[in-house]
Structure 1
Amino acid sequence: MTIPAVAVVAYPGFSPFHLSVPCIIFGDVLPGQALFRLEICAAEPGPIRSVHGLSLSPAAGVEGLAAADIVIVPGWDDPALAPPPELAEALRAAHARGAQVVGLCLGTYVLAYAGLLDGRRASTHWEFEQDFLLRFPQVRLDTNALYVDEDRLITSAGTAAGVDCCLYLVRQHYGSVIANKIARRMVVPTYREGGQAQFIEKPVPASTQDIRINEQLDFLRQNLSVSHSLDTLAARANMSRRSFTRYFQRATGMSVGEWVLTERLRRTQELLEVGTQPIETIAEQVGFGTAASLRQHFKHAFGVTPVEWRKSFRTAE
Structure 2
Amino acid sequence: MMENIKIYWYKFSRNKLSITGLIIVSVCILMAIFAEYITPFPGHSREYVDYANASLAPNSTFWFGTDIFGRDIFSRVVFSFRGALKMSIIVLCISVPVGVLTGLVAGYYNGKWFSTLIMRITDIFLSVPPLILALSVASLMEPNMTNSMIAITISWWPWYTRLVYGMAVSLRNEYFVKNAELIGASKLHILIKEILPNCLSPVFTKIALDVGWVILQGASLSFVGLGEQPPVPAFGQMISDGTKYMPDLWWMTIYPSLAVAFMIVGFNFLGDGIRDMFDKGRQ
Please classify the TM superposition score into its range, dividing by the shorter chain length: under 0.3
Give the TM-score, by structure 2 length: 0.24
Give the structure with the larger helix fraction: 2
TM-score (norm 1): 0.23
Tell which has more relative contact order, 1 or 2 (C-alpha 8 A, sep 6+): 2
Larger Rg: 2
Q: As a proportion of its length, which structure holds more strand?
A: 1
